Amino acid sequence: MDTINLNNIRVYAYHGCLPEETKIGSDYRVDISVDANLDISAKSDELSDTVDYVHLNKIVKEEMAIASKLLEHVAKRIIDRIFSELEMVKKAKVKVAKVNPPLGGDVEDVNITLSKKRD
């Protein structure tokens, strides 16, 4: 299996359990790693033979725009759409990080990572 990574996709979104989080919003970072067989695209040099990372970025932006209480929930939506829309993907990992979370201390980010394999 081969891997495509999209790192540090920066998004402003409105996720959180506190009312002010859904009103004020916050900065987020998303990393995606997908495994697929890239042998054909490596030979053909054709976009149609690979996983389009523009499509992956679009999924992230659209799902991050839908408010969720939990990072786990938004990450699951992202990973489910990847498997629904991109048949070539055999395995995916999605990491969603909230930058400067309101935890009452100096915390760079809080993040979760979900992984899924195609059956």
Q: What is the DSSP string of 92-108?
A: EEEEEEEES-SSSS--S
Is 69 an active-site residue?
Answer: no
- Distance (Å, rounded) from C-alpha 97 to C-alpha 30? 6
DSSP H or E segment with residue 11 = strand 2-13
Task: Give the Å distances, CA to CA, from 29 to 11, 37, 67, 102.
Answer: 6, 27, 15, 16
Q: Are strands 91-99 and 26-36 parallel, antiparallel or unpaired?
A: antiparallel
Among the listed residues 43, 76, 93, 98, the single catalytic one is: 98
* Catalytically annotated residues: 98
